[in-house]
Amino acid sequence: MTMSSPNISSLSWGHMTVKGCSAAYKDCKVWPGGSRSWDWRETGTQHHPGVQPADVQEVLDRGVKLLVIGRGMNMALQVPASTLDFVAQQGVDVRVLQTEQAVAEYNKLAGQGAKVGGVFHSTC
């Protein structure tokens, strides 16, 4: 049985919830069958230079075919070309959007049964 990607059920400034998960997140990672908090301190991530390969590796390891990256409500979080190249080298398509647009795109794809994952920043 293949696990589906869980819907992101709510998004507001600094707060996200994922269907089937009791925890609320500030920033989160989602993949088929699960989700967890995205703690930037684990990889030393900052708005500049932004999302690192180490930030997305865990989601890619879950077998996703498409990765959605939410850059924040005001798109302050950068996504360097090196990270996009890293994702492409794994054979995974990537879409980088403002977080509200990213969540809508992710939920649409998840609803279509796509093997989609994402990393989402819910503030600036």
Phi, psi of 102 (to 5 degrees): -65, -45
Domains of the chain and CATH, by start: 8-121 (3.40.1230.10)
Q: Are 78 and 45 in contact (CB under 8 A)?
A: no
Distance between CA atoms of residues 109 and 5, nearest Å: 9
- Which pLDDT tens digits describe the chain residue by residue (124 residues)? 568 999 999 999 999 999 998 889 999 999 999 999 999 999 999 999 999 999 999 999 999 999 999 999 999 999 999 999 999 999 999 999 999 999 999 999 999 999 999 999 999 9
Question: pTM for the full model?
Answer: 0.96
Per-residue b/e over 24-55, b at no fewer than 16 CB within 10 Å?
A: ebbbbbbbbebbeebebeeeebeeeebbbbeb
